[in-house]
Structure 1
C-alpha cells in the first residue's frame, strides 16, 4: 500500500470512529492509535559504501535515536549486515552498481514501489567515476533517478552526496574525476530542486581523508563511517517532521 493510500485509510478510520463515538471527536482523538504520525521512511541508496556493510547507517540511526528522533524507519530491499549493535538495517546499497546503469536499466522503480520512501539519502557515482563516466553523464543519470523517485512520491526529499574522495592505487585518475563530479553536484541539485520535492547536496567530500578514513583508498573504515554519519545527520534532521 502506498503512503498516500495508508494515510487515506487512516483518515477514513478516524472519521468513522469520530462519527460513532458518543463522546465525540475529542475522545476519539485521544483514544485512537491511528492518529499517531506515520514514521518518516528514509532510504539509504548507493553502492558498497552504503551497503557493504555501510556501518555509517548504524551510527546515524543510533545518533538519531539518542537525540530523540525515534519516528524514523530506514527502508530498502537489501539484506541486513551486522555492525556490532542492533539498529534498523534496511537499505538499498548495491555493491559495484553505477548510477548510469541503475538509470539505464530502470532498476530503481521496483525498489521504490516496495519501500515507498519519504527521503532518499543517495551516495552514488563512485563506480561511474571508476568507469570514466563524465560528470554530465552521471548527472543526467541522477536526474532520471530523481524523476523516478518523484513518480513514486511527488513530495520526496532527495539528499545527494558530494561523494567521498578516492585515492585508489589502480585508478590514478579517479581522484580528479571525483573533484570534477563534486564540483558540478551543488549547481545540478539547485537546478532540479523544487519546493514540493527538495534536492539537497550534502558535502561528504570536504574533510574526508582517504589515507586515514578508508581501508583501501575508496571504502570508509571506522573513522570514515563516523564522518559519513556526522555529515548525513544535520542534512536529514530537518526533514524528519
Structure 2
C-alpha cells in the first residue's frame, strides 16, 4: 500500500467545516490510482477558529472513508516541520510526502535563504527515516500579503527560486523530489475565502497541482479532472 503524508500549514490542515485539499486529492486518487493507498500522519484534527486550536473534527460532509491523517498545523512552517519529519515518517511509514509550506516562514520566522536551509534539513530528516521517500514540494502560491507588500512578494519570489534550486540539487533516483507547479490559473479573488486560505475552488486547484506533478513524473493517478474547478 502506498502511503501519502500531507505536510503543511493552515492551507493544509484546514478549519472546521471544510473539506480540505487533502480530501480532494484523496477523491482523485481513489478514482484514478490503480493500487491500494492511504493518507497517513500523526494528526487528524482541523483548526477550530473559535477555540484558536487544532481541536475540531467537523470536516464538511463527504465520504466517511476519508483518512484524515496529516502532519499540518495552523501557523506552522518549514522551521516547525523540519524537526518533526523524521519521527513522523518513521512512525507512519510514509512513502510520499506532499508538502505545502513557506508562507508562514517568510511572514513571521525566516527570510528566503533561511527558509531554504530549513527545506534542506527537512529533506535530510525525511530521508533519515526512509531512504526511499518521495517528496512533492509546492511553491508558495499567490496570497494577499504578496499582493499588498512588494518586499514580501520579493521574498516569496526569491524563496520559490531557491526551492526550485534545492529540489534540483537534492533530487536523486532512490529518493526523488518533485517541484509541483503553481496551481494553474490560481486567483486569490476566486480561489480563496480571505486572500490566503483556499475555498472549494482553491482546494481543487491545490490538489490538482500535486496530482499533476505525480502523474507527469511518476505515472501515479491521472490528470486532475478540470471539471472540478
Which of 15, 28, 31 is equivalent to 1:66? 31
- Distance in 2, matches of 1:196 and 1:66, equals 27
User: Relative CO higher for 1 or 2, CA cutoff 8 Å, sep ≥ 6?
Assistant: 2
Identify if the C-alpha distance between structure 1 residues 66 and 169 changes in structure 2 by more than 3 Å, giving closer, same or farther.
Answer: closer
Query: Structure 2 stretches of 5 or more lacking a match?
Result: 46-56, 222-229
Residue 48 (structure 2) aligns with: none
Inter-partner Cα distance in structure 2 for 1:121 and 1:169: 23
Unaligned runs of 5+ in 1: 1-38
Structure having the higher helix fraction is 1
Question: Partner of 2:145: helix, strand, or coil?
Answer: coil
In the superposition, the TM-score normalised over structure 2's length comes to 0.80
Q: Which residue in the other structure is 1:207 paired with?
A: 185
Question: Whole-Å Cα distance in 1 between the matches of residues 146 and 117 of structure 2?
Answer: 28
Aligned length: 201
Q: Any idea what SS the aligned residue of 2:3 has?
A: strand
Q: Structure 1, residues 39-67: CA drift from partner, whole Å, max 9, x if none?
A: 10110001111112461111111111112
> Aligned Cα RMSD in Å?
2.2
Moved over 6 A (4+): none
Distance of 1:182 and 1:205 partners within structure 2: 14
For residues 239 and 92 of structure 1, the distance between their equivalents in structure 2, rounded to whole angstroms, comes to 25
In the alignment, which of 92, 101, 116 is matched to residue 124 of structure 1? 101
Q: Report the structure number with the largest CA radius of gyration.
A: 1
What is the match of residue 48 of structure 1?
10
TM-score (norm 1): 0.76
